[in-house]
Amino acid sequence: MRTYFSERHRMHFPQAELHGGELVTPYERPSRVEYVLARLKERGLTDIVDPGEADMGPIRDMSDPGYLAFLESAWDEWKAAGFAGEIIATSTPVRRMQTGRPPRNIDGKVGYYALASETAITRTTWEATLSSAASAQAATAHVISGAWAAFALCRPPGHHATADMYGGYCFINNAALAAEQFRASGAGRVAILDIDFHHGNGTQDIFYGRGDVFFASLHGAPEDAFPYFLGFADETGEGDGEGSTANYPMSPGTGYGEWSGALDDAISRIRAFGAEALVVSLGVDAFKDDPISFFKLDSPDFMDAGRRIAGLGLPTVFCMEGGYAIEAVGINAVNVLEGFEG
């Protein structure tokens, strides 16, 4: 399986994540994907290709224009306002304060477009974000042109990003871009399977009203886990999308027995949906030693999960999402790919 990977991911490395009232080194840091790259090479998966430039057309089609303009100019506006630090959201439009009007003031705009304030933006975040999207696009193009599967080693990740919000370390939704690309290439129905520990709220939001893209997510229950406000089992889609969203929220301490049961159920739902292509949001933060998560998967479980996903027999793009037990991220992510390849 070919990997698409851009060195430009390093352009996104904020100094700060707001965590427990402290500014800490972000959990989502460049070394995460360096470990994945090293593991790929160790296992002989050396077909690693730079994706080139992102195709902006599909990114514009998927995104709110004001949101994209914000991401492009946020740093300059932040500096022009005299702020010395990285961009962090402070005031957000919460209950009964949502009039849908983006402020002119940059501090207000940051809050308007943020869905969480742990994620900082730097001068070069946008460049790294586009390189991550480019990997998803190139991997999908590779599969469309006949490859069985491809791995987009995306960083920053994407599944929390909506058409008009960033947060949860995500800015542009790579998995959603991949799914739309499959649709544009002629696949009538596409499925996205999100195995990151966190609910893929952004992906769900993008496809919630659509019947052509099925979304399934296995994640920590919202009562207990970020993003806290979405990912309940009774969210099943709306309008044309009714029945095309499947959420599997699970409790602290969930191990592979229960988790793999949910995976099998998601897989059978995807089969029944009649998907012609699959996008996997490949987070490995369900791992037992992940520092910000609470599932108990072990490294061999990820290989088994890959095997089960391969049972769908679909052309597949894997998009890297989360996973923060730095050294194990490489082993676990590559285990999914090796299990898939059999």
Which residues are near ligand SP5 by CB under 6 A?
118, 157, 160, 168-170, 196, 198, 226, 283, 285, 292, 321-322
**Contact partner at residue 102 from Zn ion, ligand SP5, none, CB < 5 to 8 Å by partner kind:** none
Q: Which candidate in 160, 198, 199, 219 is catalytic?
A: 160
Q: Which residue is nearest to Zn ion (CB)?
A: 322
Stretch in the footprint of Zn ion (CB under 5 A) among 27-35, 178-186, 198-206, 309-317: 198-206
* CB of residue 268 to ligand SP5, shortest distance in Å: 26
Q: Which residues inside 247-306 make contact with Zn ion, applying CB under 5 A? A: 283, 285
Indicate if 160 belongs to the active site: yes
> At 246, which helix (H) or strand (E)?
strand 245-250
For residue 317, report the phi and psi dihedrals to the nearest 5 degrees: -115, 125
* CB of residue 69 to Zn ion, shortest distance in Å: 28
Segments in 192-239 forming alpha helices (H): 201-207
* CB of residue 156 to ligand SP5, shortest distance in Å: 8
Closer CB to Zn ion, 39 or 219, in the complex: 219
Residues 126 and 94: their CA atoms lie apart, in Å, by 26
Stretch in the footprint of Zn ion (CB under 5 A) among 78-86, 208-216, 232-240, 321-329: 321-329
Residues 74 and 112: their CA atoms lie apart, in Å, by 12
Q: Which of 5, 35, 78, 197 binds Zn ion (CB under 5 A)?
A: 197
Closer CB to Zn ion, 166 or 273, in the complex: 166
Residues 101 and 205: their CA atoms lie apart, in Å, by 20
* CB of residue 95 to Zn ion, shortest distance in Å: 26
At a CB cut-off of 8 Å and minimum separation 6, what does 230 contact?
Answer: 199, 201, 204, 205, 222
Tokens 């790259």 correspond to 37
Segments in 10-159 forming alpha helices (H): 31-42, 56-62, 65-80, 106-113, 125-144
Decide: 173 and 203 in contact? Cβ < 8 Å: yes
Closer CB to ligand SP5, 138 or 329, in the complex: 329
Active site residues: 160
